[in-house]
Amino acid sequence: MTTLTSRDLSLDIARGLGIVLVVFGHALRGLVSAGFVDDSGWSVPVDYLIYTFHMPLFFVISGLLFSPSVQGQRAPLGAFVTKILVLLAWPYLLWSLLQGGGKSRWRGATR
């Protein structure tokens, strides 16, 4: 027999807020690029606030949902850290190197 668990609506609301921030941030940057919004006024601090807030929000929500997703699969701390490094850290490092290398190459090409 399966049992239904109650859903925490606050996490859904937080995710929805994060999604709205992402969409608004991209739309705002598009409006600035198109010249519809001046980039010397209110848009700069709003853009900064959105882009410093929305990704950490998704990481916090992910962390809150992480523990219930692995209950019953307890592993020693060393094995857990190794698994996380294999699954998350090396793709992050690889992408950072690719993106950083590309940015320096792109900047050199435009000068």
64, 95: one domain: no
- Per-residue pLDDT of 18-64, as tens digits, reads 899 989 999 999 999 998 988 888 888 888 888 888 888 888 888 77
Is residue 41 a part of any domain in this protein? yes
34, 54: one domain: yes
82, 69: one domain: no
Cα separation, 29 vs 78, whole angstroms: 43
- Per-residue pLDDT of 61-91, as tens digits, reads 887 776 654 555 666 767 777 877 788 888 8
66, 91: one domain: no
pTM: 0.55
Under 8 Å between Cβ of 94 and 85: no
Is residue 58 a part of any domain in this protein? yes
